[in-house]
Amino acid sequence: MYGLKPDPCVLEVPDKYYSTGDYEKGVARWCPGCGDHSVLSAVQRLCQEKQLPPEKTVFVSGIGCSSRFPHYMKTYGFHGLHGRAFPVAEGVKFRRPDLNVFVVTGDGDCLSIGAGHWIHSIRYNMNLTVLLFDNQIYGMTKKQTSPTSPMGTISNTHPHGSVLPPINPVQSTLGVANVSFVAQTADWIPGHLYATIKAAHEHQGFSFVKIMMRCTKFLPEQAKQMVGDKEHMTLLQHPDGIEVDMATANLFKHTVQHDPKDINKAREYSEDPDMFYLGLYYQDKTAPRYDLYGAHNLGATPEQKLQVLEEEFDKFAV
């Protein structure tokens, strides 16, 4: 255990070709029709396309239906505490630049109990791919109001309808210092979902993807309504945005050109009460990254450590 080995954090060229099956584990125990299934397929497809070595890929989650995700990936996984996926993922990434780290979190997990960590994780801007499964309800604990439940949502904690306006995660994320990538997609538009997760993974920094999810079990009416509603959905398009194929683009009734460098316009779209915009709201490739700081002094030799200790002992010597 204490053998002296050189620091192993070096990128390796994969010597094996992975199929999607190499990333699949077990049978996902989500309800039939739950949006989580489609994200799982999209992520497995991404891993395969990018040929991410399973041993170098870590899925970190909190607690909730959505946070079960890592159990269905044949990679490393960390299914931790409710609301605390971000700190764990940050700790994993801090000194392991060689690992591909994904964060899977729910609307309660990220925006309620984990809200403090969420805000700070945006600011740390570490190279993490963050998937917010926003089903607007607490699924795991059986239908309590979530911070994103629309006002008036009937739930077990608000049987007469929820009484507060919801948090808007895209808007809030865009308001945090050092934000570097914000996108929105929906679980029922697979082409867009895949393209968005792929763009998020390719972004070198904290990529925040809010995924609009159906909860067919607890909010079936809403799920049906969302899927059928083309009137209130607009595709954001731009050469620097998220590229989707024609078939996917054709699913949208409305499209708009949006430069992801324009944060003011991004905020404006995020605040539109009558419209959901899917695509890349904002991207800043130059925002300072805390994981680069974390990796900047890796690999100190035992001799260097000894030298620092001896220098310190000299300072304290009598």
Partner 1 sequence: MSGQSTTTAGPVPATRERTTLSEHIVEIVSDSGEGAQKAGQSFGAISAKMGNGVWTVEIIPSDIQPPPRTKESASGIRIRIGSGVVSNAGDEANIVVAFNEIAPYSRIEQGAYQKGTKILLESMWASHDDEEVRENYARAVADFKRLGFEVYEIPMQEECLKVVPDARRGKNMWVLGLLCQLYNRDIEIAADQIRHTFRKKSQQVVDVNLQLLQGGFEWAGKHLDFLYDLPPTLGEIDQVVMNGNEALSLGVIASGIEVCSMYPITPATSASHHLAECFERAGGLVHQAEDEIAAIGFAIGSSYSGKPAVTITSGPGLALKTEFIGLAVMAEVPLVIIDVQRGGPSTGMPTKVEQSDLLAVLYGQPGDTPKIVLAPSTIEECFQFVILARQIAEAFRTPVFVLTDSNLATGVQPFARPKPRKEWFAPPIDQSPWPQGLNPYEWEPSNGISKRPIPGQRGGEFTVTGLNHNKEGRVSYLPEVNQRSSTMRSRKLAAFARTLKPPRIHGDDQGDLLVVGWGSTRGAIEEAVDRARAEGIAVSSLHLRFMSPFEPELKQIFSRFKNVVTAEINYSDAVDDEFVPAEHRRYAQLAWVLRARTLVDIGCFSNVHGQPMRPKSILDAIRTITQPQNA
Give contact residues for ligand TPP (rule: CB under 6 A).
63-66, 82, 106-109, 133, 135, 137-141, 146
Closest CB to ligand TPP among residues 53, 64 = 64
Closest CB to partner 1 among residues 247, 318 = 318
Shortest Å, Cβ 238 to partner 1: 33
Burial-class residue 1 by CB neighbours within 10 Å (0-12, 13-18, 19+). exposed
Closest CB to partner 1 among residues 37, 74 = 74
By a kind-dependent CB cut-off of 5 to 8 A, residue 302 interacts, out of partner 1, ligand TPP, Mg ion, none, with: partner 1
Shortest Å, Cβ 169 to ligand TPP: 12
By a kind-dependent CB cut-off of 5 to 8 A, residue 140 interacts, out of partner 1, Mg ion, ligand TPP, none, with: ligand TPP
Q: At what angle do helices 36-50 and 190-202 cross, to 10 degrees?
A: 50
If we measure between CA atoms, which residue out of 39, 31, 298 comes closest to residue 187?
Answer: 39
Shortest Å, Cβ 66 to ligand TPP: 3
Say if residues 183 and 200 touch (Cβ distance below 8 Å): yes
Contacts by 293-299 with C-beta closer than 8 Å and gap 24+?
294/93, 294/94, 294/95, 294/97, 294/126, 295/9, 295/94, 295/95, 295/97, 298/7, 298/9, 298/95, 298/97, 299/6, 299/7, 299/9
Q: Where on the chain is the footprint of Mg ion (CB under 5 A)?
A: 106-107, 135
By a kind-dependent CB cut-off of 5 to 8 A, residue 141 interacts, out of partner 1, ligand TPP, Mg ion, none, with: ligand TPP
Shortest Å, Cβ 65 to ligand TPP: 4
